Amino acid sequence: MSSDDFSGLENFEDFESRFRNVAPKQRKHTPEDGFNKNKVVNQVLDKSTMFTMYEMINARIIAYVNGIVKAGKESVLFWAVDPKGKDVALKVYLTSTSSFKNRAQYIVGDPRFLHLKKGTRNLVYLWAKKEFRNLVQCEKKGIPAVRAIHVSKNVLAMDFVGTNGVPAPTLHETEVDENDYHQLIQLIIDLYKKAKLVHGDLSEYNVFKTENGLILFDFGSAVDTMHPNTQNFLERDIKNVSYFFAKRGLTVENPADILAKIIS
């Protein structure tokens, strides 16, 4: 049975009752961005998404969902737990948003995704698959990025970087030093030369700072180095990172020189 075909269910109320482990539980920590939790839950957990999450429970990818960690225009991040008690980050991409229509530039031209079906829902599904594939590529090449676990339609499961449902701090939220700068520049280089990827949307907001070093995340925009706009995306990533560290008072290398060294 597909997620869009519920005709085989004699009593849909009985079916909905089976989603108790999917419905978010009350979290101890209230998200700081002040979004309307109930509204977001209603937008995200439509019948198709609930069915997808229920299938993930049946497949023992997750056991239950604790609640919402963070919400954005394109996705909502849930704190889930797997059957072994390990925290899992569930990224649910909103199928009702129109924001993804502006994301075609990161897909069209990428040789890995030559067939793009029409429709927002198909674009969202492809975006989730794209982020999953990018994260897997990073893991294979030893790039410190969030580890992908599973993807199904608009739901991506990843390792939860943080403790007790609280994500690790990003560069934006921490004090930074020269080591952080050099480490991130090296990650950009390794991402390009080893994983053959350009993040495409890199900033201080999507880099975790942990005791074991920096960890990259939000790879939906990442493109293959064969993409026609690779150099433009790479240049923008370098400039964004350089501007952030310079704004924090650090001495940074000329972005043009870094770009030249990477693509030479």
Any idea which residues carry the catalytic annotation?
A: 201, 218
State the residue for tokens 């890199």. 202
**Structure-block tokens of residue 126:** 């492809």
To which H or E segment does residue 170 belong?
Answer: none
Measured from the Cβ of residue 239, the count of other Cβ atoms closer than 10 Å reads: 15
What is the Cα–Cα distance from 50 to 16, expressed in whole angstroms? 9
Residues 147, 149, 152, 154: what is their CA dihedral angle, to the nearest 10 degrees?
Answer: -30
Measured from the Cβ of residue 17, the count of other Cβ atoms closer than 10 Å reads: 9
* Residue 180 phi, psi (nearest 5): -60, -40
